[in-house]
A and B are shown apart, each in its own frame.
Chain A
Amino acid sequence: KAGVTQTPRYLIKTRGQQVTLSCSPISGHRSVSWYQQTPGQGLQFLFEYFSETQRNKGNFPGRFSGRQFSNSRSEMNVSTLELGDSALYLCASSMTSGSDNEQFFGPGTRLTVL
């Protein structure tokens, strides 16, 4: 069974630009969560989508948004990029929603903002 895939793996953008990251969950998984990881703040929860609906949202500004499609694939968008948005963005999928469910993480997208 294929794991969680994320594209692109690496991305370089400049301040003010916007970016869209993609995540394909494991087949059959309906929940997709996004996390930001930086050396200073560690792993931080961004949001979760389940059956095309946002179920949970972390403490991030409105520049961070996402969506989920009917095939459970998810995209995350960051508008008006700032230097501090440079991070590893991780996507995780699980069969259903709930923090007690095993989360399967993808390899991440490394975003660098110049």
Chain B
Amino acid sequence: LAKTTQPISMDSYEGQEVNITCSHNNIATNDYITWYQQFPSQGPRFIIQGYKTKVTNEVASLFIPADRKSSTLSLPRVSLSDTAVYYCLVGGANQAGTALIFGKGTTLSVSS
């Protein structure tokens, strides 16, 4: 799986938009980009997944430029409950089996 690089931590205030960028220079043609959220002492939770351009769901948007060497998770109007660790992963359907490779993630702290 392609290695990812993302900021260790980010701070924000309630109501602000938060953008977390992830670099994945060695992404393969068939790799998807997936983001997970994890609260302390809980398992990660799927947020969003995309292949190219822009994907939006009820909780976030994912922006992927044409070269796909990076991606940006956008969280609109964050609240205190969005304080968590966010992981960016890349992996493809062409890979035999499942083997999510988690990096250190980005710890997002939201203050009031």
Give the interface of A toward B (CB within 8 A): 4, 31, 33, 35, 42-45, 48, 50, 55-56, 58, 88, 90-92, 94, 97-108, 110
Report the separation of the CA atoms of residues A4 and B46 in the bound assembly, to the nearest whole angstrom.
Answer: 14
Give the interface of B toward A (CB within 8 A): 1, 32, 34, 36, 41-46, 49, 87, 89, 91-93, 95-105
The prevalent SS among residues of A at the interface is strand
| Closest A residue, CB atoms, query B91 | A99
Q: Are A55 and B96 in contact (CB under 8 A)?
A: yes
Given A100-B49, A100-B91, A100-B92, check contact A31 B98 (CB 8 Å): yes
Given A99-B1, A100-B32, A100-B34, check contact A58 B99 (CB 8 Å): yes
Q: Are B99 and A48 in contact (CB under 8 A)?
A: yes
Q: Are A97 and B97 in contact (CB under 8 A)?
A: yes
Given A48-B99, A50-B97, check contact A107 B91 (CB 8 Å): no
Report the separation of the CA atoms of residues A94 and B87 in the bound assembly, to the nearest whole angstrom.
Answer: 18
Q: Are B104 and A45 in contact (CB under 8 A)?
A: no
| Closest A residue, CB atoms, query B47 | A102
A72 to chain B, nearest CB (A): 14
B94 to chain A, nearest CB (A): 9
Q: Are B100 and A45 in contact (CB under 8 A)?
A: yes
Q: Are A102 and B49 in contact (CB under 8 A)?
A: yes
Report the separation of the CA atoms of residues A88 and B42 in the bound assembly, to the nearest whole angstrom.
Answer: 9
